[in-house]
Structures are given as C-alpha cells and as structure tokens.
Structure 1
Amino acid sequence: MTAEGDIRALAWRLARRARELVDCQAAGLLLGCPDETVRHPLLDLFVPDAASYVGCSGGGLDEERLRALLQYEQVRALLDIAAQSGRVHCCEADPVLRCATAIGSLAVAPLERPAGVLGSVLLFDERRTAFAAGECRLLAAVLSRLARELEQQLRLLSQVARAPARDQRQGPPQRLMLVPGGDGAAAGVGDHHALCWPSELDQLKYEFISMVSHELRTPLTAIKGYASLLQAYGLSPSGQGQGRKGSDGLTEELQRHYLDVIMEQVNHLEALAGDLLDVSRIHANHLDLRSTSLDIAALCRRAVELIRQRVERETPGKYLFRCRFMEPLPPVWADADRVQQVLTNLLENAVKYSPAGGLITIEAGLSREGRQAGGGLMQVSVCDQGIGISPEQQSRLFRPFSRLEQESSECVPGVGLGLYITRRLVEAMGGRIELRSRAGEGTRVTFTLPLATAVPEATAGRAR
C-alpha cells in the first residue's frame, strides 16, 4: 500500500473509533492545520499547503461530502477555535448548515501533540443535542491517544519515504514495522524501538495483534468512559423523580442511552471473543456439532428478520431484504446454531460491503445433486448489490484475518475471521461454500448443506 493509502486507512480507523465512542452518525479526520503558529512540522511532508485541509473520512461520511462541509462558515470557525484552544468544542448546527445538510449538531476534537496540531476529528449527527457534556469528556479522554497514534504513524511513513529505494529484484517492499530493541535513536523513532523489514510470519503476527487490539480498544474505551460518567455524574440524589437531572445534568433518558451503548459494546466484545474461540476450537479439532433435521426456510427467515430489525434501527429504509425459496424445501441435516451463525455472518457482510444500500437476498433450493432421488444437497445463497470483490482478492477471503483491500471498505470494522469461520463450519457440516463477485457489481456467496434424507440412518441416530 502507498504512503497515501496508509494515511487514508489510518484516518478511517481513527475516525471510526471516535464515532463509535460517542455513538454519532458520521465522523471525518482532517489531516492538516491552516494556522502555521500551531502547525505540526510533520505536516510539511504530507500536507505542504498550510492553508488547506486534506480530508480523510470515516463512519459513513465520504471525502467529497467532508470537503463540501468545510465550505460552511460555522464548520471552519469551529475547527479554528478547537485548534487554538486545544479543547473539544460542540454546538448545534446553525439554520444554514441544518437546512443544507440535515446536520443537527457537530463537534470538533483537535489532535494535538507537543510539537503542534496534526489535524482534527469532525463529528456530525442529525440530532440537535447529540454532543453533550458526557460525549465531550469521552472525546477529551482519548484525544491524546489518537493524536499519539497518528503522530507515530506519520513519523514511520516519513522514515519510509526517506529510505533508499530497495533493489527491484527483491520484489515489492513489505510494510515497515516497529520492533522492541535495536538502535531506535538511529532510526529516529525513539530510544527503545527500531525499524526493520519483517518476515512474512512476523508480519502476519503483527497485523493480527494490531487488528485485534484495535477491535478491543474501541469498545473497552466506550464501556469504561460511559461507566465512569454514570458513576461520577449519573447517580441522582435520593428523592429525585423520573426525568429529573442528576448532579451533572444527566437525565434518566441520557443515562439509559449510555447504558444501551455499554451493552452494545459488550455484545461486540462477546462476538469477537466468540470468533477467536471458534478459531481456537477449529484448529484444535474440538468443534462440536449437534446436527438434526432442520427447516432451512424458517432459519433463513429468522436470520433475515434479526438483521433487518438491527439495520432499520441504524439506517432506516437504506436496505431491502428478501427471501426467495423454491418451496416446499426438504429438511437439511445440520446444527441449527451453526447454520444461524453462518447466515448471520453472510448477511452482516452483505450489509457492511453495500455502503450505498440496496437489495440483499437469501435464495434457497435444491442443488443439481439434490434433485436426484435419495440424496443430495440444499443450496443457500446470500446476494448483495455492493462494492463487489476483484478476482485477485477472492481467493484470499476465506483465509483467516483476510479482509478487502479497497478504499471503500476501509471503514468496515472486523479482523477478517467471519468468512474463514463460515467456511470451516459449512465444511464441518458436510457442505461447501463458494463466492462469485465482480468489482462494483455485488457479490453472491453460496453454501450447501446435506439433506436430512441423504444422511445414513445410523449416523443420524448417533448424532441425536
């Protein structure tokens, strides 16, 4: 990946973490500072023009829209105030901005280091009161960490840019990584770290640890932050009635919202822990299945309804879900919980990689073999109209820790375990899975399961 691509990916990641932390609709990271008196020297390498911003966005906000928002006087003023003060600032959108963009409130969090300002995180929401005192405190608590991470990565990229070109016979260069020890002073990145070219195995380990740590850090920060706010400010004095404010102005409605965010992040952590545990069981050959005769149509409808309810709460009207079955469908022989997990993984991927929305369909019917008397397979497909996958990336998607490498998917959370676990579960239940896709034209993922009539009676009896 190029230096520009690395910066954009980092910006997406930091913006997403800020957006998830305060539970707002959209966030963008602006790399740059127009005020030369507080501008970080590193920006001269990446943003030469001191009077302009380079927009890198996340959380459903594309770069074109982010640049357009910078044309509004209120947004520019808020950015200048935040850069000068070094503090988080939030406000309701003025009538001009609200009418033109449907934005109800916005917040700016400056990314400042001792050497100067690197940029700002800009957050938006259609609600007029999305950013209260609690959200500002949470942002202030993580600003130094986000700024430090951004500075470290820019220093690393500046070292790569100044490094001599490698011999072309060695093939394309690997991404540099920081390792403990070595001559850190000579590398210019600190006293206890050095730059090195990692081996392929070391690189895989590094990327795995990095992905998992980022996925863990965001929900843990949110849980800790909102819990500390409730502990410090949310406990109303005894005798106060419903709807009354606590000691720091946190209404019971706001307290319930904070608790909802905590539970959402706990569920996210639980899902990540479950995925890691499944990988461990798969590699240890300890994956237990409780197969029985299942109604695949009912399972598909249930999975679609659960996803539909969640997606409609977050983005109402954006996605249309549909089930298409060649009924009546004969029962399949599989583990109900694991089939539900497979369907959920595929439907979630369809939503994640369809940023523009559209139709998502589950189709089910007998495979060619399943139409033969006395045996065969049931075929289930999940289809979307999303960004699609290029042929060179399709072969890697069912491997562990593999994710799409395209700009439009940088903001998608995850560590790349869903499709790998899905493949291994389908294979463990006696089926197979395949993916067909074209970049920009959507994706169809199809898996098969054995029919209950195709399972030998002795085997079925033991499974029960």
Structure 2
Amino acid sequence: MSQKDRDTSYSRLFAEELRLAEEAKEVVRDRALSGKELYKLHQELAGQYEKLLKTTIKLSRISDIQGKKLKEQEQEIQTANESLKHLEKLRQRLIADISHELGTPMVAVQGYVKALLDGVIQPEEKYMRLIYDRVLTVNHLIKDLFLLSTFQANQNHFEHQRIEIGAFVRAVERKFMPDCERAGIAFDMEMPGEGADPVIVWGDPVRLDQVFENLLRNAMKFTQAGGSIRLCSEFQPKYEGALLGHWFVKVSDSGIGIAEEEVPHVFERFYRSKRASANGIEGTGLGLAITKEIIQKHGGEIGVTSRAGEGSTFFFLIPAESVTSVDGQTRSMIKGGLS
C-alpha cells in the first residue's frame, strides 16, 4: 500500500470525527461574529479538537508502521531460528556420519600400528602402504563430508561466470581420454559439430568440472577393460527455434550396472550398491551426493537409468542458451545486451 493510500485509509477511518469537527468550526465561526466571548472560546476549542484528531491520525499511522516493522523483525528472527535449527541438524548428522564412516579405516590403522609396535609384523612396505591408503581414505572422507555439508548449509559460494560449453566439454575429453586408454576402456564423445551456434551457461567452472570428475571416474570404476564410456553433450531449446533452453549431458557406461531397487538411492550420502561391494569396488558413497548438490546449485536436475549387468547412464541438465552474433559480438539473453 502506498503512502497516499494509507493516508486515505486513515482519513476514512476518522471520517465521522473529522466531519463533526468541521461542522463545529463552521458553527462557532458564524456565531463568533456576534462578539460574545463564549463563542470565541468555542471556536478555539473546535480548532484544538481538530488538531487532536490530526495528531491521533498521525499516531495511528506511526503505530501501524511500527507494528509492521515488529512483524517483519519477528519473521526475520523466526527465519534465523529455523536456519540455526537446520544447521544444528546438519552438524549432528555430520558428526554421526563421521563417527560411523571413520570407524572402519581408523580401526584398521590402529590395528596395523599396534602390530608394528608389538613386533607382530615388521615395518615392511606392504604394511606401510596399507596404513597410508587407510589414511588417504579418511582424508578424502573428511574433505567430501565437509564439502557436502557446506553445500547443504548454503555456506559454499559459487563463482558463476560465462562458460562456452563446447570448449568446456572438449577440455573434459582431453583430460579423461588418456586415463581411459590406460584402463583399456573406449571413450566416445557426442556433441554438436564445429558449425553449430555456440551455447553458454552461467556457472562455476571448478564445480562443473567436479561434476564431470565424479561422473566419469565413477563410470571408469564400474567399467572393466574392454568396455566403453560415452559422453553426450547437447543443447535442448525450450521449443523449436528458441535460444533459451538447457544443456543436457549424458554419461553412459557398459559397466556392471545398478539393480532396479537400488536406483532411487544412488544420490544418497554414503549409499553404495551391493554389486559394488561384492566386486570389491571402493568408494565413500559421497561423490554422487556432492554432484547432485552442485547441479541443484546451478538450477538443474540430475538422474540415472540403469539395469544390473547392462551399464548405467547418468544425466543432468542446467539452464543454457544458444547465442547469436551481432557485428562480431555475441548477444546474451540471460545477461542482456551484448557481451
């Protein structure tokens, strides 16, 4: 409500009093001409009453404003309180997760060190390597847990910038192709050709690189030598000919796949499929949970389709646009103007 509307509302609220005050002023004004002192006093009294009404209106307005501010402050306090409760739940959950997940590797480290101290085993390389690997596992686990918790508590700031996805995906290919070759896994790419219009997203390149790191490393982990991984990247317009749409990415592998009943749980923290455990495939179960948080922070969605023994396909989409050129410069509809 505007200030003018509020003034009109208060005037309407005190309309009867204002009308009576005005009538009283007119009556005593006419009769005061008679020169009688009493009517002059009546005229002064009517004027004071009018002033009192106007002061009352102002006080009512001030009270209303203060009331609204108090409600706003109450809402802010309530929101802050809910935020603190949320952070406390995350803290408790983090402590519980750390206590649970650190137990196994730390017990192993403790056992090896005690055996070394007691002379049961000698400080051979294989035992030192086992201890080192367990320590690395603990370090990665703590790092991933902290990262995931900051995402969920909205305490991790993203550095969004313009990313041309063609160049970005080609950099991903150059990064992972040698690793796949060493593992004996075929790595294929599917993306628009050189003549296609450039497509951009506004995102954090470090975090998006982490998404590809998690998805592709995951695919390599579950795919044996002789298998294949396929990365598809395309722009999907909102409708035919539209410049705005989504960047759609699929990472498919020919690995061991995921059982149908386990598919809904793969993005949960610490979830590891039974087939992964049975095949001795290590992991903390945090990579996909982190990936989901990153995609959601970019306004996107992520999912998976899979069948046991037939491989998996992880996919995500985030807002993107196909840009056009004007006098050699690209026009961005998301940011507006030329960029």
8 A Cα contact 2:105 2:134, kept in partner: no
Partner of 2:245: 376
For the structure 1 residues 382 and 370, does the alpha-carbon distance in structure 2 shift closer, same or farther, using more than 3 Å as the test? farther
Runs of 4+ in 1 over 4 A off after TM superposition: 204-208, 215-225, 264-270, 407-410, 452-455
Q: How does 1:384-395 map to 2 (within 5 A)?
A: 384-395=253-264
Within the alignment, does 1:326 sit opposite 2:216 as a pair? no
Listed one character per residue, the Cα deviations across residues 232-260 of structure 1 (whole Å, up to 9, x for unaligned) are 99xxxxxxxxxxxxxxxx9xxx9xxx99x
Within the alignment, does 1:272 sit opposite 2:141 as a pair? yes
- Deviation of 1:302 after TM superposition, in Å, equals 3.1
For the structure 1 residues 456 and 407, does the alpha-carbon distance in structure 2 shift closer, same or farther, using more than 3 Å as the test? closer
Partner of 2:207: 338
Letter in 2 for 1:403: R
- Deviation of 1:353 after TM superposition, in Å, equals 1.6
SS of the residue 2:188 aligns to: strand
Of 286, 298, 316, the match for 1:417: 286
What's the TM-score, normalizing by structure 1? 0.41
- Deviation of 1:410 after TM superposition, in Å, equals 4.4
- Deviation of 1:293 after TM superposition, in Å, equals 1.1
Letter in 2 for 1:326: P
8 A Cα contact 2:303 2:314, kept in partner: yes
- Deviation of 1:384 after TM superposition, in Å, equals 0.1
Within the alignment, does 1:301 sit opposite 2:170 as a pair? yes
- Deviation of 1:428 after TM superposition, in Å, equals 0.6
8 A Cα contact 1:334 1:449, kept in partner: no
For the structure 1 residues 407 and 325, does the alpha-carbon distance in structure 2 shift closer, same or farther, using more than 3 Å as the test? closer
Distance between the aligned counterparts of 1:265 and 1:306, measured in 2?
A: 27
Letter in 1 for 2:148: V
SS of the residue 1:420 aligns to: helix
- Deviation of 1:318 after TM superposition, in Å, equals 2.1
Letter in 1 for 2:229: I
Distance between the aligned counterparts of 1:214 and 1:413, measured in 2?
A: 13
Distance between the aligned counterparts of 1:274 and 1:431, measured in 2?
A: 24
Distance between the aligned counterparts of 1:303 and 1:270, measured in 2?
A: 26
8 A Cα contact 1:304 1:347, kept in partner: no
Distance between the aligned counterparts of 2:178 and 2:271, measured in 1?
A: 28
- Deviation of 1:292 after TM superposition, in Å, equals 1.0
Distance between the aligned counterparts of 1:445 and 1:212, measured in 2?
A: 28
- Deviation of 1:455 after TM superposition, in Å, equals 6.5
Distance between the aligned counterparts of 1:295 and 1:409, measured in 2?
A: 41
Letter in 2 for 1:422: T
Of 101, 116, 132, the match for 1:211: 101
- Deviation of 1:431 after TM superposition, in Å, equals 1.1
Listed one character per residue, the Cα deviations across residues 172-203 of structure 1 (whole Å, up to 9, x for unaligned) are xxxxxxxxxxxxxxxxxxxxxxxxxxxxxxxx
- Deviation of 1:358 after TM superposition, in Å, equals 0.8
Percent of aligned pairs sharing the same letter: 28
Of 301, 309, 314, the match for 1:432: 301
Partner of 1:353: 222
Letter in 1 for 2:244: G
- Deviation of 1:447 after TM superposition, in Å, equals 0.7
Listed one character per residue, the Cα deviations across residues 342-371 of structure 1 (whole Å, up to 9, x for unaligned) are 001001111122235411111100125275
Partner of 2:152: 283
8 A Cα contact 1:219 1:268, kept in partner: no
- Deviation of 1:322 after TM superposition, in Å, equals 1.9
Listed one character per residue, the Cα deviations across residues 318-354 of structure 1 (whole Å, up to 9, x for unaligned) are 2121221123341222110010000010011111222
For the structure 1 residues 210 and 370, does the alpha-carbon distance in structure 2 shift closer, same or farther, using more than 3 Å as the test? farther
- Which one has more relative contact order, counting CA pairs under 8 Å at least 6 apart? 2
8 A Cα contact 1:322 1:362, kept in partner: yes
Partner of 1:403: 272
Partner of 2:319: 450
Listed one character per residue, the Cα deviations across residues 363-400 of structure 1 (whole Å, up to 9, x for unaligned) are 10012527542311111111100111122111111111
For the structure 1 residues 210 and 308, does the alpha-carbon distance in structure 2 shift closer, same or farther, using more than 3 Å as the test? farther
Listed one character per residue, the Cα deviations across residues 48-95 of structure 1 (whole Å, up to 9, x for unaligned) are xxxxxxxxxxxxxxxxxxxxxxxxxxxxxxxxxxxxxxxxxxxxxxxx
For the structure 1 residues 216 and 341, does the alpha-carbon distance in structure 2 shift closer, same or farther, using more than 3 Å as the test? farther
Aligned residues, how many?
226
For the structure 1 residues 457 and 438, does the alpha-carbon distance in structure 2 shift closer, same or farther, using more than 3 Å as the test? same
In structure 1, list runs of 5 or more residues that go unmatched.
1-203, 226-231, 234-249
Between 1:356-365 and 1:344-353, the stretch displaced more is 356-365
8 A Cα contact 1:360 1:384, kept in partner: yes
Listed one character per residue, the Cα deviations across residues 96-143 of structure 1 (whole Å, up to 9, x for unaligned) are xxxxxxxxxxxxxxxxxxxxxxxxxxxxxxxxxxxxxxxxxxxxxxxx
- Deviation of 1:277 after TM superposition, in Å, equals 1.2
8 A Cα contact 1:333 1:449, kept in partner: no
Q: Point out the structure with the larger helix share.
A: 2
8 A Cα contact 2:229 2:251, kept in partner: yes
For the structure 1 residues 317 and 205, does the alpha-carbon distance in structure 2 shift closer, same or farther, using more than 3 Å as the test? closer
For the structure 1 residues 457 and 317, does the alpha-carbon distance in structure 2 shift closer, same or farther, using more than 3 Å as the test? closer
SS of the residue 2:274 aligns to: coil
RMSD over aligned Cα atoms: 4.1
